[in-house]
Amino acid sequence: MLRTVVVLLATAIFAVMLYRWVSEERLQFFPPREAPTPTSPTPEPTATRPPPIGGKLDTGRLFSGITLHSTVETVPGADASTERADSESYVLDLKLNARVPTPNRTIEELAKITPHLPELLPGLSAMIAPESVSPLFTELYNTKIKMLRENLARLDLLLSRHNFYDCQTVLQFQHPQSHRKALLLQADMDVDADGSDGDRMPIGTGAPTNFKPFTSFKWPKKTAAPNPYLAGTEERLKRAEDEFAARTTTADRKRDLRNAITQLRAEVTTLQKYSFLIGMTDPYIVIPGAFTHAKDAAKTGDYAVVIYGDAIYPAIVGDIGPNDKVGEAAFRIGKQINPQTTPYNRPVSDLKVTYLIFPGTADPQFGPPDLEKLQERCQKLVDEIGGASVPLHHWENIIPPPPTPTPTPSPTPSPGTSPTSTSSISPAASPAATFAFPLSSPSAHK
């Protein structure tokens, strides 16, 4: 009997030691989120319960760069069946805290971001003052905050940290002698690869994500050459119309298709009638739509310059973007600034790009860009605000010339026909189209 008791006692001691060893090994691989509560030397048997959930703060980061502070809080409730039926028993409260930035106000503050700016444009120092801050800066961030509130329940639609803090300042000023007005933006640079023009470039430049064959800057087509993206748009329209006419299409789907068909028909008509800037070849910038409605507002077609590093690049306002984002330029400008630029890789992520727009300078009629005129016009406008210490960048045409018409073979002269009545070119052949991008000679490059 005594021997049996000893064996049972030894077995129990071994089982306790084994249990503690297994528990310690488990803690090494699965450490608790909080320090374990010291156990009593003689644990009392208790009913199995879920572990308590405390309010410990956890910190992470969303894909958009937003810092996320999360915590779980619990309170005693009724039985599970009751709580499952109550929508307020299991609630996620969202609160986004955002610090609204203060705009740069002085030339010294601007120079902290773009050190060469006072040297490149020496006249800025006398024109920029703390009161030069434009109301557009406040309007821009009010729009950003409004968008945050509207999309707070959709984390995938929230502005990223990068896009919320994409504008360092917006300043407006006027030269005291020439009275030339200017709007200065200090921001980053995203890429705009939109636009198409069948007259100048009959082959498309590709269609990256979110590509649109249109820009706000447009003009009536000059030739009968079709837009390279017209056929694809017509095909999408046909598919939408066929699906709309199908008997199996639901009412909800038809509602969506009706809107899509209206939009596609408008796009087809626009592509048939107009030509546009080409992001891959034309130097232009993009401004928020709200900037076109203010006092002394910038408009599509206004001349501008882009300042980055120690260079000044002529440009025009070629496209209008969303109201809550600033800092975007054509792929042509981005590639010149940073050779690593692609439609998906922005040339400048920091707020080190200065965009200087001259409101009210757009030509009365739009047409294919003339790079030589762009150079001369921007130089004159810069001179009216004190001039520049370096020559403006000279853009060269990179659009291939139109193909040379194939000569029509001369007919064999018949007896009695005068040799002067024949020609190497058919009289019916149409003359080659004239393009607004004359090929620059090698000596014209600067």
- Which residues contact residue 195 at a Cβ distance below 8 angstroms, ignoring those fewer than 6 apart? 212, 213, 214, 215, 276, 277, 278, 279, 282, 318, 319, 330
* Better pLDDT: 157 or 237: 237
Burial 170-187 (b: 16+ CB within 10 A, else e): bbbbebeeeebbbbbbbb
Report phi then psi at 304, rounded to 5. -155, 165
Residue 422 confidence class, pLDDT cut points 50, 70, 90: very low
**What letter does residue 195 receive in the DSSP assignment?**
-
- Terminal-residue alpha carbon distance, the chain: 108
Written as one letter, the residue type at 250 is: T
CA 152, distance to chain mean position in Å, is 20
The whole-model pTM stands at 0.74
Q: What are the tens digits of pLDDT across the range 174-209?
A: 999 999 999 999 999 999 999 999 999 998 877 788
* Better pLDDT: 307 or 23: 307
Contact 405, 429 (CB under 8 A): yes
Report the pLDDT averaged over residues 297-325: 96
For tokens 């008997």, the residue is 247
- Among residues 364, 396, 390, 358, the alpha carbon closest in space to that of 377 is found at 358
* Better pLDDT: 405 or 79: 79
Per-residue pLDDT at 17:
64
How far is 218 from 201, CA to CA, in rounded Å?
15
| pLDDT of 63 over the 80 cut | no
Per-residue pLDDT at 56:
55
Written as one letter, the residue type at 272 is: Q
Q: Rg of the Cα trace of the chain?
A: 34
Report which secondary-structure segment, H or E, holds 274.
strand 274-276
Separation in Å, CA 405 to CA 201, 401, 424, 436, 437: 16, 12, 12, 19, 19
Q: Number of helices (H) and strands (E) in the chain: give both, helices first.
A: 11, 11
Helices (H), 319-438: 331-337, 371-383
Neighbours of 55 (CB within 10 A): 8
Per-residue pLDDT at 302:
98
| pLDDT of 287 over the 80 cut | yes
Per-residue pLDDT at 445:
37
279, HSE (Cβ side, Cα atoms, 13 Å): 28
| pLDDT of 50 over the 50 cut | no
Q: Which stretch of 58-62, 65-69, 108-112, 287-291 has the lowest confidence by average pLDDT?
A: 58-62
Report the pLDDT averaged over residues 15-22: 58
Report which secondary-structure segment, H or E, holds 315.
strand 311-321
| pLDDT of 446 over the 60 cut | no
Q: Which stretch of 9-23, 78-92, 133-147 has the lowest confidence by average pLDDT?
A: 9-23
Out of 127-131, 317-321, 409-413, give the one with best mean pLDDT: 317-321
Across the chain, what does the average pLDDT equal? 82
For tokens 């119309």, the residue is 241
| pLDDT of 439 over the 50 cut | no
Q: What are the tens digits of pLDDT across the range 328-360?
A: 999 999 999 999 999 889 999 999 999 999 999
Per-residue pLDDT at 185:
95
What SS3 class is residue 411?
coil
Residue 85 confidence class, pLDDT cut points 50, 70, 90: very high
* Better pLDDT: 407 or 214: 214
Per-residue pLDDT at 207:
74
356, HSE (Cβ side, Cα atoms, 13 Å): 25
Query: H/E/C letters for each residue in 327-362?
Result: CEEEHHHHHHHCCCCECCECCEEEEEEEEEECCCCC
**What letter does residue 34 receive in the DSSP assignment?**
S
Per-residue pLDDT at 293:
86
Q: What are the tens digits of pLDDT across the range 121-169?
A: 999 998 998 889 999 999 999 999 999 998 887 777 788 888 999 999 9
For tokens 């260079």, the residue is 311
* Better pLDDT: 421 or 91: 91
Contact 298, 183 (CB under 8 A): yes
Contact 216, 319 (CB under 8 A): yes
Residue 7 confidence class, pLDDT cut points 50, 70, 90: low
| pLDDT of 400 over the 70 cut | yes
Which tokens is 63 given?
Answer: 């894909």
Residue 14 confidence class, pLDDT cut points 50, 70, 90: low
Per-residue pLDDT at 28:
44
* Better pLDDT: 92 or 328: 328
Residue 434 confidence class, pLDDT cut points 50, 70, 90: very low
State the Cα angle at 228 between 223 and 229, rounded to 5°: 125
- Which residues contact residue 189 at a Cβ distance below 8 angstroms, ignoring those fewer than 6 apart? 308, 327, 328, 329, 333, 334, 337, 346, 347, 348, 353
Q: What are the tens digits of pLDDT across the range 354-393?
A: 999 999 999 999 999 999 999 999 999 999 999 999 999 9
* Better pLDDT: 187 or 441: 187
